[in-house]
Amino acid sequence: GEGKGGGKKEKKARAFDWSNSYRRQVALQFSYVGWDHMGFASQESTENTVEEHLFKAMFKTCLLENKDRACYSRCARTDKGVSAMCNVVSIRLRSKRTKGLGVVPPEGPHEMSEECKDRAYWLGRGGGEEH
């Protein structure tokens, strides 16, 4: 029957505290089936793009505070209904790491350091090998 606590309690959304969050520039490799999407790249006049869903997921999981500080770069785009394999985006996300390549401390600089810009990486099956 309907006893105590029969309904689910609504959780209050708490604002995430970004002031103590380290960020790290990463490369995300992904594939997608584009049948139900309007292409990869977000556009002002187009909804339901793969990129839009990618950003929504990163906001929902608190990996990304806002697009302005994301240092975001994409390498490809597709048309409506087109699928893709091995797409890569570069983006600055929240990280547990406090040291290392691409790590930006809280309230740190918003641009990649010269040291990071001078390195090249191969992101194949071995992943992240410096060249």
Is the CB of residue 101 less than 8 Å from the CB of residue 116? yes
Is the CB of residue 76 less than 8 Å from the CB of residue 21? no
- Domains of the chain and any CATH numbers: 22-97 (3.30.70.580)
- Give the burial class of 40: count Cβ atoms within 10 A of its Cβ; 0-12 exposed, 13-18 middle, 19 or more buried: buried
Choose the catalytic residue: 17, 36, 68, 79.
79
Determine whether 79 is an active site residue.
yes
Q: What is the pLDDT along the chain (131 residues), one digit of tens a residue?
A: 555 666 677 777 677 788 888 999 999 999 999 999 999 988 888 899 999 999 999 999 889 988 888 999 998 878 999 999 999 999 999 998 888 888 888 874 444 445 444 444 444 444 444 44
Note the pTM of the prediction, 2 decimals: 0.68
